[in-house]
Structure 1
Amino acid sequence: MARVTIMIPTQRRPDGLAVAARSVFAQTGVDRAELELVIVDNDQIPSAKPVVDDLAKVAPFPVLYIHEPRPGVANARNAGMAKATGELIAFLDDDEEAPAGWLSALMAARERFNADVVFGPVKARAPDHIVEHRDYLERFFSREGPVEAQILDRHYGCGDSLIRRAALPDPVAPFSAERNHIGGEDDMLFGHMGAAGARFAWEPAAWVWEDPVPSRLNLSYTLARAFAYGQGPSSHCAAAAPADYLGVARWMVIGVGQALAFGVVAGFKWLTRAGDRAEWLDRAARGLGKTFWWGPFKIQFYGRTA
């Protein structure tokens, strides 16, 4: 078995961090002698250290604590990569909980498909008191994919993934610091890897729970996030070298059409109090994001520690 680093970046989520880490300790079907857990604390002060110290006392394998005070998820992940010793890097978020067979499923799929990166599903669960738009909110924070394990022609995000370190363009600092404040550093990395011929795979058995932060379980947050997601294709074309201005124009036109069409449907659904009204508003927001993607319209979700 290759040495595996499980990495959890965290910022001011002590309870979620403890749940995520303890789920890592409970993994089965793997050689624990070849595992290590790297926890990266992306707060200005080392606020997660007391939690990590307590976790380390009951851990079945080494736990390494890293304090990265520079704000931004790319900085946090790069700080962890610089200290990690694994040939394989498994990423788990600090609001996720992995079933006991999670890691072994990721590793089996990597061997089966000779994959450079393996992704698994994320199943969001909202607290019982969330009633309005509950189905939409759980779907929003979930990750769905093919029913069968298979090779992918696309990629997903970093949470719940296993990466072969040797396939990274930079094995020490692969995540772009320019994405610290807006996110998408994992999409940029996997996009570059895909263009270089990396092999992606999907394993439905490697699923995790996600418990979204309660303050995010509302339309104010999800629609702003949907708008930011919509900005991705246009921003990606603009950031290409050389810039793909034709691609930018194409996505902006598509965005206008989506915003108008989905917006009209969303308005009707809202007037009739249809159960799926939030989904249509989400689609309209993503269309707007494709259209308004540049500087003053960028929304900062990351890179804040103050």
Structure 2
Amino acid sequence: MSTASAKAPSPLLIDICICTFRRRALADTLASVARLDVPDGARLRVIVADNDVTPSARDRIDAMAEGFPHELLYIHAPARNISIARNACLDAGGGNFLAFIDDDETATRPWLRHLLDRALATGADAVLGPVRAVYGPGAPGWMRRADSHSTFPVWVRGEIRTGYTCNVLLKAASPFVEGRRFVLAFGRSGGEDTDFFTRLHEAGGKIAYAPEAWVEEIVPESRARFSWLARRRFRTGQTHGRLLAGRSAVGQRLAHVGLASLKAGYCFAIASVLCPIAARRNPSILRGTMHVGVVAGLLGLREIRQYGSVSPTAEHGNAA
């Protein structure tokens, strides 16, 4: 075949998925996506899945679409269950890769390029990036020093066994991604992403990490509180405990309860020793709270509802 008749390779299509629920910060997220460095040989499409009962974000998305540098697709995916919105993104995605970013985050310019480079270099089914917390002036000093709100993957024996949707790139054609969906039972409590990536890994999927693929998240005053962090850690533990319970026989479950209880007691004991030093004491208490959550999940206690609750003073519908 001559050079003249040869067809140029089709560009990679990357769908950037954003699930939203009455959050004004969505405009900042989209503005950061508009400024992204587009990877060579790729084109972008942005999918916004509105999880509200009514299509409350439609007008804002329509207003932005005309001047937006990429195709911008709005989907109404009701209601008040984050798994519904995430699955709507998976169903609408037709690209080679799907990226997820939260509607209260902003992407750094090279974010997507770093994720894609890592995916192509490793052949991984999913690539995680870090989330940098940006604290306001009113955030406690101990919280800043402990960096309690930033998000990084957890390594276990040299591998990543679960993940999160606040900064991730998925290979759409992967047999471990294609057809996989977020479980609706986790869609109000949270933990649907932990469950999704845990199942992906257990099925044989590979999860990689791109440490330079940063996104940033401003920590609002409502979240810069010990009580918010404690509730979040407890819920994280509950999710882990619930997943363990589903994969364990009764005897193993009791052993997990005993181990988590010992870990919680150890953390609280360390916190008591470090009592005068908030930057060391509070993280230990939060770690112990997470292990208490594991016990609660293993015992089947009702989970905290995190998504879809609406408060008159809340900025958005997600739990603050």
The CA deviation at 1:81 is 1.7
Encode CA deviations 1:128-176: one digit per residue, 9 max, x unaligned. Answer: 2223433267x23212359xxxx84423211110001122556356111
The answer to whether the Cα contact below 8 Å between 1:88 and 1:164 also exists between their aligned partners in 2 is yes
The SS at the match of 2:88 is: helix
Aligned to 1:140: 148
Runs (4+) off by over 6 Å: none
**Counterpart code for 2:261:** V
Among 235, 242, 249, the alignment partner of 1:244 is 249
Encode CA deviations 1:218-267: one digit per residue, 9 max, x unaligned. Answer: 11111011112122332112223xx4333322221122112222223323
The CA deviation at 1:113 is 0.5
Aligned to 1:93: 102
Aligned to 2:226: 219
The answer to whether the Cα contact below 8 Å between 1:231 and 1:292 also exists between their aligned partners in 2 is yes
**Counterpart code for 2:295:** T
Structural mapping, 1:224-239, within 5 Å: 224-239=231-246
Task: Find the structure with the greater CA-based Rg.
Answer: 2
- For the structure 1 residues 295 and 181, does the alpha-carbon distance in structure 2 shift closer, same or farther, using more than 3 Å as the test? farther
Q: Distance in 1 between matches of 2:281 and 2:63?
A: 45
Among 72, 75, 80, the alignment partner of 1:66 is 75
Q: Distance in 2 between matches of 1:31 and 1:153?
A: 28
Among 286, 295, 318, the alignment partner of 1:282 is 286
**Counterpart code for 2:88:** A
- For the structure 1 residues 236 and 33, does the alpha-carbon distance in structure 2 shift closer, same or farther, using more than 3 Å as the test? closer
Among 82, 88, 111, the alignment partner of 1:79 is 88
**Counterpart code for 1:228:** R
The SS at the match of 2:267 is: helix
**Counterpart code for 1:247:** Q
**Counterpart code for 2:249:** D
The CA deviation at 1:85 is 1.9
The answer to whether the Cα contact below 8 Å between 1:82 and 1:173 also exists between their aligned partners in 2 is no
Q: Distance in 2 between matches of 1:199 and 1:296?
A: 32
- Gap regions ≥5 residues in structure 1: none
The answer to whether the Cα contact below 8 Å between 1:136 and 1:276 also exists between their aligned partners in 2 is no
User: Scaled by the length of structure 2, what TM-score is found?
Assistant: 0.85
- Gap regions ≥5 residues in structure 2: 1-10, 311-316
The CA deviation at 1:281 is 0.9
- For the structure 1 residues 169 and 154, does the alpha-carbon distance in structure 2 shift closer, same or farther, using more than 3 Å as the test? closer
Aligned to 1:23: 32
The CA deviation at 1:123 is 0.6
The sequence identity of aligned pairs, in percent, is: 28
The SS at the match of 2:29 is: helix
The answer to whether the Cα contact below 8 Å between 1:234 and 1:248 also exists between their aligned partners in 2 is no
Q: Distance in 2 between matches of 1:99 and 1:219?
A: 28
**Counterpart code for 2:22:** R
- For the structure 1 residues 297 and 179, does the alpha-carbon distance in structure 2 shift closer, same or farther, using more than 3 Å as the test? closer
Q: Distance in 2 between matches of 1:143 and 1:87?
A: 26
Matched, 1:49 2:49: no
The CA deviation at 1:117 is 0.6
Among 204, 216, 219, the alignment partner of 2:211 is 204
Structure with the higher fraction of residues in helix conformation: 1
User: Scaled by the length of structure 1, what TM-score is found?
Assistant: 0.89
The answer to whether the Cα contact below 8 Å between 1:254 and 1:290 also exists between their aligned partners in 2 is no
Q: Distance in 1 between matches of 2:40 and 2:233?
A: 40
The SS at the match of 1:216 is: coil
The CA deviation at 1:302 is 2.0
The CA deviation at 1:83 is 1.8
Encode CA deviations 1:88-119: one digit per residue, 9 max, x unaligned. Answer: 10001011111111111111111101111111
Aligned to 2:313: none
The SS at the match of 1:235 is: helix
Matched, 1:160 2:160: no
Q: Distance in 1 between matches of 2:177 and 2:109?
A: 31
Q: Distance in 2 between matches of 1:180 and 1:118?
A: 22
Number of corresponding residues: 298
